């Protein structure tokens, strides 16, 4: 199998059959002329399939080492498609440290449809095992988690889920297939917010699911078409273009991530850095075993209170103070006020989202310039 560097450039994409165009055209059409009722070239209606979306889905399947992939209008709608495999009364074991929007979808939307959730630290296998019920149909994990950067043993949880007849899904947004391949480790479904590293340019909102099993694909494809939360052709084009440089970008995110995490850890204004590539991370060994690198995401505690932390965040110039992550530019944010505001304060405190916690998505700029910006802003603390 070609390396991921080659897959990023070529997987799924063929020259356009009509013109030879090397870049997949933007098929900005909702419908397709049929020669007779039901006689068509494989495309009937763009909610169902679109020729700019098809190569993107093939590319993502190959990048994740899957057989299939489906793209959605956002990461949240990709997650919702997985939840729609379940019925009222079914039970989900989910990580207790998740993106705030995922927690909101689970507790405020899916729970109203009758799904039941137990949130546990998926880094503790015993807790996952204890949470399983006969009605458990899905184990949902993030590894590393957003924003505390905790890991779970994907292979071990995959075996546990399989033994209970449940599906295991991994939100692989932070690690990306460049550093972690959950399907090969034993997961059934990989989910991505493609808004982040896969597209990489902070100009598209999109989600995807990658998987191996044909029957599961048939069920999810039915849901993709039935619910209709599909991305537009233009966005599929942009994502295809973003993926061309995916491997290069991730290599640089990884190098910069390790350097900035070490720099922060040595800084007197920083109490603690959460980054799986640091020897101080409690799951560093698991990270080294399960991942081929550590990416560019980290969080850290500023040696200050809320006011000092907000002063620091308002003082950055190069880093963008913004929600989201995984763009070529460095993004910094305050989880308690921004991305995880929908998690109740007592739950936030329990998982470690304190008022002095900052999350950093290290971009591909020169690392010394990122350090200089952080140094300047930390001077206000
Ligand atoms: O924003 P959307 O494309 O719908 O994806 C949701 C999502 C799912 N999973 C993870 C791990 C995520 O980080 C996100 C989106 N996260 C942010 C916007 C954020 O700043 O954390």
CATH number at residue 148: 3.40.640.10
Same domain? 88 vs 178: yes
DSSP secondary structure letters along 94-118: EESS--HHHHHIIIIIIGGGT-EEE
Q: Which residue of the set 80, 90, 171, 235 is catalytic?
A: 171
Alpha helices in 75-180 (DSSP H): 75-83, 100-104, 125-131, 154-163, 176-179
What does the pLDDT read at residue 1?
Answer: 83
Q: Is the CB of 339 under 6 A from ligand 1?
A: yes
What is the block-wise mean pLDDT of the chain (381 residues), using blocks of 10 residues?
95 95 97 97 97 98 98 98 98 97 97 98 98 98 98 98 98 98 98 98 98 98 98 98 98 98 98 98 98 98 98 98 98 97 93 97 98 98 95
What does the pLDDT read at residue 341?
Answer: 95
Same domain? 105 vs 181: yes
Does 45 participate in catalysis according to the annotation? Answer: no
Does 171 participate in catalysis according to the annotation? Answer: yes
Same domain? 219 vs 259: no
Q: Which residue of the set 80, 90, 97, 99 is catalytic?
A: 99
- Residue-range definition of the domain harbouring residue 273: 247-378
Q: By C-alpha distance, which of 302, 303, 305 is closest to 332?
A: 302
- What is the whole-number distance in angstroms between the Cα of residue 194 and the centre of ligand 1? 9
Helix/strand/coil for 270 = strand
Last residue of a domain, one of 200, 224, 244: 244
Q: Is the CB of 82 under 6 A from ligand 1?
A: no
Q: Which residue of the set 53, 196, 212, 359 is catalytic?
A: 196
Q: Which residue has the CA at smallest separation from atom 17 of ligand 1?
A: 324
Q: Which of 151, 173, 323, 340 to mutate to test the pocket of ligand 1 (most atoms within 8 A of CB)?
A: 173
Q: Which of 106, 196, 329 to mutate to test the pocket of ligand 1 (most atoms within 8 A of CB)?
A: 196
Same domain? 258 vs 223: no
pTM given for the model: 0.98
Other Cβ atoms within 10 Å of 21 Cβ, number: 10
Same domain? 166 vs 263: no
- What is the whole-number distance in angstroms between the Cα of residue 174 and the centre of ligand 1? 9
Last residue of a domain, one of 244, 278, 297: 244
Ligand 1 atom, smallest distance to 142 CA: 11
Same domain? 70 vs 146: yes
Q: Up-side HSE of residue 308: CA atoms within 13 Å toward CB?
A: 13
- Locate 194 and state its tokens: 């493609």
CATH label of the domain that carries residue 299:
3.90.1150.10
Number of separate domains in the chain: 2
């Amino acid at each position: 199998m070609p390396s991921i560097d080659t897959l990023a450039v070529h997987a799924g994409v063929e020259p356009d059959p009509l013109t030879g165009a090397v870049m997949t055209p933007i098929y900005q059409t909702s419908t397709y002329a049929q020669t007779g009722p039901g006689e068509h070239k494989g495309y009937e209606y763009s909610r169902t399939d679109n020729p700019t979306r098809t190569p993107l889905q093939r590319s993502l399947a190959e990048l994740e080492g899957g057989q299939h992939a489906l793209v959605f209008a956002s990461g949240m709608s990709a997650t919702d498609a997985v939840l729609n495999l379940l019925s009222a009364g079914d039970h989900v074991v989910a990580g207790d440290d998740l993106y705030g929007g995922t927690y909101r979808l689970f507790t405020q939307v899916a729970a109203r449809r009758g799904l039941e959730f137990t949130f546990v630290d998926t880094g503790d296998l015993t807790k996952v095992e204890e949470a399983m019920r006969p009605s458990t149909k899905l184990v949902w994990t993030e590894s590393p988690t957003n924003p505390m950067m905790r890991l779970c043993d994907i292979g071990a949880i995959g075996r546990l889920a399989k033994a209970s007849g449940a599906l295991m899904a991994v939100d692989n947004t932070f690690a990306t297939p460049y550093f972690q391949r959950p399907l090969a480790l034993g997961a059934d479904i990989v989910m991505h917010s493609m808004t982040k590293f896969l597209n990489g340019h902070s100009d598209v909102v999109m989600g995807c699911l990658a998987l191996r099993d044909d029957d599961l694909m048939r069920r999810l494809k039915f849901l993709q078409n039935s619910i209709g939360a599909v991305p537009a052709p233009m966005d599929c084009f942009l994502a295809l273009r973003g993926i061309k440089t995916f491997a290069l970008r991730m290599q640089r995110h990884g190098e910069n991530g390790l350097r900035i995490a070490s720099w922060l850890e040595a800084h007197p204004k920083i109490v603690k850095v959460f980054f799986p590539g640091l020897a101080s991370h409690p799951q560093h060994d698991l990270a080294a075993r399960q991942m081929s690198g550590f990416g560019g995401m980290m969080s850290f505690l500023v040696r200050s209170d809320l006011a000092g932390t907000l002063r620091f965040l308002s003082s950055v110039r190069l880093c963008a103070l913004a929600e989201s992550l995984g763009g070529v530019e460095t993004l910094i944010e305050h989880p308690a006020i921004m991305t995880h505001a929908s998690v109740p304060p007592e739950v936030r405190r329990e998982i470690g989202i304190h008022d002095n916690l900052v999350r950093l998505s290290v971009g591909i700029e020169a690392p010394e310039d990122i350090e200089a910006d952080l140094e300047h802003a930390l001077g206000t603390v």
